[in-house]
Amino acid sequence: MKKVIMGNHALSYGAMISRSQVIAAYPITPQTQVVELLSEMCASKALDAKFIKVESEHSAMAASIGAALAGARTFTATSSQGLALMHELLHWASGGRLPVVMGNINRAMAPGWSIWSDQNDSLSERDTGWMQFYCASNQEVLDTVIQAFKVSEALLIPSMVVLDAFSLSHTYEVVDLPDQAKVDEYLPPFKPRFRLTPSEPHAFGGLTSPEHYFEFRYKLQKDMEKAPAMIEETGREYEKMFGRFLGLVDPRRCDDAEILLVTSGTAGYTAHVAVEEMRQAGLKVGNLRMKVFRPFPFDKVREIAGRAKKIAVVDRNISYGHHGIFFQEIKSALYGLKDAPAVFGYIAGLGGRDITPSDFGGIVRHALANDRPEDNIVWIGVKR
């Protein structure tokens, strides 16, 4: 069934069609509508789930952890400062191996107070042990929620489904809602191997001495290493059943590209359009849209980006004192590769400033004009 819905509601419908059993959330612009619709679904019994109202995002994640530990399929959503407030509990969810799925609307961190998009909120949570999927359309948001539950529950690792503020969250697009019976087949009920139950009492997350802590972290990493193959496999399975592939990356015109853009989020779709325009003008340009950031699609990046002569990484984020975060990750992935391409780093669109097709034109022209990057950051659109 096709519906015209905003990105926020694509998350809500994704949680509904995945048959989430517990939703604990606290509202924050631009995420608010995600949980508003879910609370309505719970009230009208369209979704048979327990909706827990909490007093903060810290509590939202704490309640989600409790619910997941009891064996419920659990969904929550947040943004920006709310995600930052959850930070401590993000470690509890991943360390406790609880497959919570959370929508995060990318919203720039304050101050200055902002409700517009950039990626510093979610990328600040890079090392919490959560998988991170960056979406570029409302359809992809809905599909990814379903896939994220499948991958998370198989590996017992939580997932963040990330979308841009306003350019997805409040933008209406046509979204195909998959058939519930088929989704049930793709995503069977969650059956945890261990759960909080009086019939088999255990304490979870208690004091763990140096004798065993190290091994738990080793196991988390080893399972995270299984995630790239599993994301591709479940993505192909999804394509067979629903006609849409959900992979680690979304390459456009990469095969013979001499200059390769590396992008993420909605800027990645803008770059697709810009690439087609530049191709018509005879430029051998491609765009590698990074869908998954954690686990980092190391092999895919080396395979696709390693073929280009030059790479232009466009970051809607910054690691202060270093440079763009995708830029450093791409360089790290290409390290040691024979004849590795020159990698240029561009920072654009912080705090919700638009990234336009002509910005990508300027970026490609800059990379063409220089043999090697002179600086680690080329600023796009700073008024100076």
Interface positions with other proteins (CB under 8 A): 95-97, 156, 193-194, 202-206, 208, 211-213, 215-216, 218-219, 223
Closest CB to other proteins among residues 172, 213: 213
DSSP state of 108: P
Pair 122, 104: CB distance under 8 Å = yes
Closest CB to other proteins among residues 204, 242: 204
Minimum distance from residue 204 beta carbon to other proteins (Å): 5
The secondary structure element, H or E, covering residue 181 is helix 180-186
Closest CB to other proteins among residues 17, 224: 224
Closest CB to other proteins among residues 56, 208: 208
Minimum distance from residue 159 beta carbon to other proteins (Å): 17
- Of 127, 114, 161, which Cα lies nearest the Cα of 141? 161
Q: What is the rounded CA–CA span in Å between residue 33 and residue 165? A: 12
Pair 249, 288: CB distance under 8 Å = yes
Task: Count the residues in the chain.
Answer: 384
Closest CB to other proteins among residues 172, 216: 216
Q: Tokens 């939202």 label which residue? A: 60
Q: What is the rounded CA–CA span in Å between residue 68 and residue 97? A: 9
Minimum distance from residue 207 beta carbon to other proteins (Å): 9
Closest CB to other proteins among residues 212, 240: 212
Phi, psi of 289 (to 5 degrees): -85, 120
The secondary structure element, H or E, covering residue 218 is helix 213-242
- Of 244, 259, 265, which Cα lies nearest the Cα of 363? 259
Q: Which amino acid is at 127?
A: D
Closest CB to other proteins among residues 210, 336: 210
**∠ at Cα 55 (51, 59), nearest 5°?**
75
Q: Which residues pair with 134 in a beta bridge?
A: 162
Minimum distance from residue 363 beta carbon to other proteins (Å): 43
Minimum distance from residue 74 beta carbon to other proteins (Å): 15
Minimum distance from residue 214 beta carbon to other proteins (Å): 9
Minimum distance from residue 205 beta carbon to other proteins (Å): 6
The secondary structure element, H or E, covering residue 334 is helix 325-334
